[in-house]
Chain A
């Protein structure tokens, strides 16, 4: 990138450290974004324990568990992709990232089925507080999955254009970090909504 802005021409080590601090800070804001919803969950669960117990039974645990497995697997493929990049194997990186995107799509597909089923049974975001929370939390998480897919796809394409190397692979590392976050949020959502009545 010959026409890089002066500030982007600085020491690659500094650039990498900056990017890392930047992404971690960004993830902290994401935690807070979800944090408000988790707070709302705690407040309303305390207020309506019976309702929460009755309503959570209506969620499909099998589909939820399946999706959990799918996402955890995708976290694994991302790690393998990042590791491939570290060893300079960019084709392999592309393969693993492609797999990750595919798994993410499966996740969204399952969500689609779940949502459809809920709507079919007349369960909407406005039905009651439990389902309000369910749809807000999983919906917001779904948007993050979508964003994550975009980020991974971008890295995949750029890897194809030979932008990354063993020395310069900051975006690869950062996209991996982001995907782990998306995965992690689900790891909290699943027991909270599906398992803990």
Chain B
């Protein structure tokens, strides 16, 4: 364990040292700050929605404003937060450290993809002159005709997609070519496996959505009629293209979080991970199967019954590798010496909420119920359980776990647990209530609803206020930790993966000497730790 030259990667000052940096760690931090900003902004829109739903009539703003707000909320959370946050943020920071490398394979490309990302969201902000009201799926033909600035927005999404392709490509090459001596694929931390699978999805799926948005823009500007039935086009084609990307992208959202959980669980149970290979390969399996099921989003769009049945079946199939992971985490926990520091609390929350989200999925995947529950609050509850209960909790686990490594400071553990408790409570009050609303038939995407749904909506809004308080407390804790946390030792959690074998924060070149890897990183409670 080298002491380093005492100069962490953070020691340089001034905005130029950030804006032009080629250091993967700094680029990762820039992504983290940017995406967390959009998470908070998207959260403000969510609160506005919940506020409006306090009363059955549209009271605070118009129906149109409601449409704009849920589109902004959804699109921001998906494209500007949940897709990039873990891969580009934590992934950038960790991948070379995990591999025992000095940086990613293409540092300049890495910086470029950050700025392409920024350009993308600036274009999207520019498109707000005529805000979107289509929902985050931009279905044609409506999106081809609405007065909103869809063309500009398409360009923005295209840029963001390009940035995500470049990042994924960079990671794939890095993982293939820059592993430290002795770091075979089967000695890689599971976070790396999940990032590898994620990158493959990004590289394979994103070009298709890129060209789809290009076509949407051409449809509006040049009048090409690919998606317009009046011109012989086919709106269903748009949906196929869109979901060819957007279903696999669900796994871009969830796989990295699963990677984090696979890192955190063994450390805080002091046990070797159970079923290492099964977890590693299931990531690849998910990536692969994810491409085969997109059309389950289109059961109501008029495909043939046979196609519907096939996609319905395939959808159940993807659940298998996911279940394998959950089983292995629980087996790891079994008889471990578990401690409940904040990262572990969030990791366990991930498992708990994700199981609920996962179990409610088949109701939607199954053909018959899907048509019944389609576009009710059941769907809203389901995807918040998977995306927020799953991915966001995994992200929070990662933030708490790697905070000492990234900043060189410890967090206040008590404050971290208190904010966790608020988040956990608020989350369930908000979104569990929505399952009831959905079963009782409340449709989504309306600012107004029948009075019989009133009391549940009030409960959900109260829950969202608790949730917000919890998130604010967490952010406050981060700021406090950054300003006045006690200095972090190199390895506060006594973990075995390589990033903990350098000082906190790591020096600019990560390692004094490139480490020689002789074992997998999960030997907890056995010979090494």
Contacts and interface: CB of A to CB of B under 8 A. Distances in A.
B173 A21 contact: yes
Nearest to A36: B211
A29 B203 contact: yes
B344 interface: no
Interface string A28-47: 11101111110010011001
B320 interface: no
B252 to A, nearest CB: 15
B177 A17 contact: yes
B176 A44 contact: no
Nearest to A28: B203
A28 B96 CA distance: 24
B232 interface: yes
Interface string B503-514: 000001100000
A5 interface: yes
A5 B111 CA distance: 12
Interface residues of A, number: 36
A162 interface: no
Contacts of B177: 14, 17-18, 21
B223 A128 contact: no
Nearest to B233: A129
Contacts of B203: 25, 28-29
A21 B176 contact: yes
Interface stretch (B101-109, B112-120, B405-413, B447-455): B101-109
A8 B96 CA distance: 14
A6 B208 contact: no
B178 interface: yes
A6 B222 contact: no
A43 to B, nearest CB: 6
A40 B226 contact: yes
Q: Tell me what chain B mostly uses at the interface: helix, strand, loop, or mixed.
A: helix
A48 B212 CA distance: 21
A13 B165 CA distance: 25
B186 to A, nearest CB: 20
Interface in B197-255: 203-204, 206-208, 210-212, 214-215, 218, 222-226, 231-234, 237, 241
Given A14-B177, A125-B218, A129-B231, A22 B225 contact: no
B22 interface: yes
B393 interface: no
A136 interface: yes
Contacts of A154: none
Interface residues of B, number: 44
Interface string B102-141: 1111111100000000000000000000000000000000
Interface in A1-25: 5-8, 10, 14, 17-18, 21-22, 25
B178 A18 contact: yes
B172 interface: yes
A26 B166 CA distance: 8
A168 interface: no
Contacts of A33: 207-208, 210-211
A126 B215 contact: no
Given A6-B102, A132-B224, A29 B169 contact: yes
Nearest to B208: A36
B169 A125 contact: no
Contacts of A21: 172-173, 176-177
A135 interface: yes
Contact of A25 (B96, B101, B169, B178): B169
Nearest to A22: B173
A33 B106 CA distance: 23
Nearest to A44: B232
Contact of B223 (A5, A37, A125): A125
A124 B223 contact: yes
A33 to B, nearest CB: 4
A36 B204 CA distance: 12
Interface string A125-165: 11011001001100010000000000000000000000000
Contact of A36 (B165, B207, B225, B234): B207
A173 to B, nearest CB: 15
A14 B231 CA distance: 52
Given A6-B103, A36-B208, A47-B232, A126 B224 contact: yes
A56 to B, nearest CB: 16
A161 B111 CA distance: 25
B231 A32 contact: no
Given A21-B172, A125-B223, A29 B231 contact: no
14 contacts: A5-B108, A7-B103, A7-B107, A8-B107, A21-B172, A25-B172, A29-B165, A33-B207, A35-B207, A36-B207, A126-B223, A132-B225, A136-B218, A136-B224
Given A36-B212, A132-B222, 14 more contacts: A6-B508, A6-B509, A7-B105, A14-B178, A18-B105, A18-B106, A21-B177, A29-B169, A32-B207, A47-B234, A125-B224, A126-B225, A129-B233, A132-B225
Q: What 4 A-B pairs come out closest when comparing CB atoms?
A: A126-B223, A7-B103, A132-B224, A32-B207
Interface of A: 5-8, 10, 14, 17-18, 21-22, 25-26, 28-30, 32-37, 40, 43-44, 47-48, 51, 124-126, 128-129, 132, 135-136, 140
Interface of B: 22, 96, 101-109, 165, 169-170, 172-174, 176-178, 203-204, 206-208, 210-212, 214-215, 218, 222-226, 231-234, 237, 241, 508-509
